[in-house]
Amino acid sequence: MDIFAIITILTVLSAAFAFINTRFLKLPFTIGLMIIAMCFTLVILALGQFNHSILEQSKQLIQSIDFKTVLLEVMLSFLLFAGALHTKLDELSKQRWPIMLFATFGVITSTFIIGGIFYFVTQAVGHPIEFIYCLLFGALISPTDPIAVLGILKDAKAPKKLEIKIVGESLFNDGVGVVVFLVIFAIAQKGIASVEAEEVGLLFFEEVFGGIALGLVLGWLGFQIMRTIDHYETEVMITLALVMGIYTIAHYVHFSGPLAVVVAGIFIGNKSPEIAWSDTTQNYVDKFWELVDVFLNAILFVLIGFELLIVVINGEYILLGILAIPITLIARYIALKGPIMLFNKKLEFIPKTDLIMTWGGIRGGISIALALSLQPEMERELFLTVTYVIVVFSIIGQGLTIGPLVKRVLRK
């Protein structure tokens, strides 16, 4: 099936599911779409028991979509830029130190806690897995997904102070998490004895700081170009070209594309409205990126629902997935606790920030995409199923209850 036909099918189904959710279910947009897509998938699986061709054709369609490439190399850059564009620098700056620690120390700490505990859990259930592969799992599941978090927090009506912490952390820990995953992946491929500490440090430094520098330079360049004109159609095209150019360059020079796009988005979104854009241009740029965000989110969460078709339904894998849910939550709570205690008095965190941020750390498509990038010998099928169980619980269970949790905490 050609690419246009695949995009058409996904767009039509996303629009249909969005209508059903808006008209009848009235759930938060992304959660509603994913639930409907999963129900649709379960219907296909049930029909497939009577007509195997329906199931096989559906699986072929989903398998023909390279979810990892579609998300990490196509959709992610646009979604991150759309989120970063509306993140206010003055609010982010006030929380910069805890956000920085959440996104670096927090991700690394969570990776090792999850990897360590999961290693012993797999031993206990009689399916031992090498420690380095458990660390890979810890790395891919530790970052919270900014795409999921942004949409869900809007519906939860979280206080601005809290929202900026969770959104800021999610925007940056995504890029850091991918870098940590790539470093551990390289160690797993080559063997720990073949990888030197300098090589690991250089890779991490190059990806993180190279990405930040690239985002600043090209964000500044785009801003300077837009300052010289007042033509909203052209300026919208410049922002679009900027995102695509940054991500492509980052890929070729081995910098972190997600971090570069986030930095450029924050720079453009904060400097341009004051200096480079007219009110008309700002309105069109905002509306354009809001629509891009909504459309790509719809496609993404429908795809997450459809991934159920290719997940291995294995009792042992499902059990490990269920056991991994509290492990990931405990690891996140511990990883956040240190930075929160350090800055609690100085920045006047709202009560139970650690609890709310733990529950508000939604996992999403990025974790699934990273799990899909594992090699078969790295227990790819097991980790994909475990990751899928965690993501579904996170988006539906945590996503539907974070709003009531915030309201309950704030009433006390």
In order of start, what are the domains of the chain with their CATH numbers? 3-63 (no CATH), 67-411 (1.20.1530.20)
Residue written as token pair 């956000």 = 99
What local confidence, expressed as pLDDT, does residue 402 receive?
A: 86
Handedness of CA 227, 228, 233, 236 (dihedral sign): negative
Residue 157, SS3 per DSSP: coil
pTM of the model: 0.94
Pick from 386, 376, 369: which is nearest to 188 by CA? 376
pLDDT score for 154? 66
pLDDT of residue 84: 92
Cβ–Cβ under 8 Å, residues 21 and 33: yes
pLDDT at position 250 is 96
Q: How far is CA 36 from the centre of its chain?
A: 20
- And the tokens for 313? 């339904």
Asked if 395 and 37 count as a contact pair (C-beta separation under 8 A), the reply is no
Give dist(CA 194, CA 209) in Å, integer. 25
Angstrom distance (rounded) from CA 251 to CA 362: 26
For Cα atoms 100, 101, 106, give the angle at the middle one, nearest 5 degrees. Answer: 125
Specify whether the CB–CB gap between 39 and 13 falls below 8 A: no
- 279 burial (CB, 10 Å; 0-12 / 13-18 / 19+) is exposed
Residue 153 is predicted with a pLDDT of 66
Cβ atoms within 10 Å, residue 14: 22
Distance, in Å, from the CA atom of 397 to the CA atom of 284, rounded to the nearest integer, reads: 35
Query: What amino acid is encoded at 332 in this protein?
Result: R
Alpha helices in 254-278 (DSSP H): 257-275
- Tokens standing for 147? 């795409």
CB 102 within 8 A of CB 396: no
Q: Rounded to an integer, what distance in angstroms lies between the CA atom of residue 240 and that of residue 237?
A: 5
Show the tokens assigned to 178.
Answer: 């991918």
Blockwise average pLDDT, block size 10, the chain, 412 residues: 89 97 92 95 93 91 91 92 88 87 94 97 96 96 79 68 82 88 88 68 87 96 96 97 96 93 96 94 96 93 94 94 97 94 81 89 92 94 97 93 82 68
Burial (CB < 10 A; 0-12, 13-18, 19+), residue 288, is middle
